[in-house]
Amino acid sequence: MQIGIGALSRETGIKVPTIRYYEKIGLVPEGDRTAGNQRRYDQADIDRLRFIRHARALGFDLAAIRELLAMSEKPQASCHEADSIAREHLAEVDRRIAQLQALREELGRMISECSPGRICDCKVINVLADHANCLHDQH
């Protein structure tokens, strides 16, 4: 089965400009060209793009995806490197969650300490104006 880039986009849920970008950076091979110079794609291209879309949805960056795709082409190799990439990504996700929790606490504190009144007494404005008023480091 050979399909055009529009059908590939619909099949994978990835926009045409993004597919072209992935081709440009070598993440996916360019589709074969027809006599009319149209790109054509097969099931392997669909599978590769679905892999990429799923990895992106899980927050993996393109460098990690490139490595994981290369590993997937060696099915008998050890999965130690893939596991390592996933563990590093999990640690980064945990770090971001901790940052978001601290941000949530700080915003909640600002809001709870703000009482209706004048802007000159507004806790939200005061905290935003002077980082020293924050309880958490949000750099």
Predicted confidence band of residue 136 (pLDDT cuts 50, 70, 90): low
Cβ–Cβ < 8 Å for 41, 34: no
- Same domain for 63 and 90, yes or no, is no
Give the chain's domain count.
Answer: 2
Residues 57 and 7 grouped into a single domain: yes
Q: Of 77, 94, 117, at which residue does a domain stop? A: 77
109-123 confidence digits (pLDDT tens): 888 877 777 777 777
Range of the domain at 108: 79-139
Q: What whole-number percentage of the chain has pLDDT above 90?
A: 61
The token pair at 20 is: 């072209």
Considering the domain architecture, whether residues 53 and 118 belong to the same structural domain is answered as no
Per-residue pLDDT tens digits for 5-52: 999 999 999 999 999 999 999 999 887 787 787 889 999 999 999 999
Q: Tell me the pLDDT band of 137, cut-offs 50, 70 and 90.
A: low
Q: Look at residue 97 in the predicted model and tell me its pLDDT.
A: 97
**9 and 69 both lie in a single domain:** yes
pLDDT value at position 115?
73
CATH code for the domain of 8? 1.10.1660.10
Rounded average pLDDT over 104-109:
88
